[in-house]
Amino acid sequence: MSVYDYLYFIILPVLALSALLIFIRFLIGPSLSDRVVALDLLITTGIGMIAIYSIITDQPTFLDIAMILGLIAFLGTVAFAYYIEKKKRK
């Protein structure tokens, strides 16, 4: 079993399953904070998938996209935290 088989048949299905579970939490999440955490985790799972496709297709350029996606996920979480705190203070 080569590394590519391992990536295709074990890692990618596990990541897809976790993305599905996180998306269910994103839909039913009772509070806004649950949804924000689920969104952050969804993007992090996406970064993992991009990294694996970058290994499979031998394209290091995809890693830059993963980097920018990580930056935007961080910024989005910070912005949500900022506005949730601002809303609570009113």
Partner 1 sequence: MKSSILQTATNYLLPLLLLFSVFILLRGHYLPGGGFVGGLIAATAFVLHMFAHSVRHTRKLLRIHPGYLMPIGLSLAILSGFAPKIISGLPFLTGIWFPEPIPVIGMIGSALFFDTGVYLVVVGVSLTILFTISEGT
Shortest CB 80 distance to partner 1, Å: 11
Pairwise CA distance, residues 86 & 47, whole Å: 30
Shortest CB 85 distance to partner 1, Å: 6
Shortest CB 18 distance to partner 1, Å: 27
Q: What are phi and psi of 61, to 5 degrees?
A: -65, -30
For partner 1, the closer CB: 22 or 73 = 73
Q: Which residues lie near partner 1 (CB under 8 A)?
A: 61, 64-65, 68, 71-72, 75, 78-79, 81-82, 85-86
Pairwise CA distance, residues 83 & 67, whole Å: 25
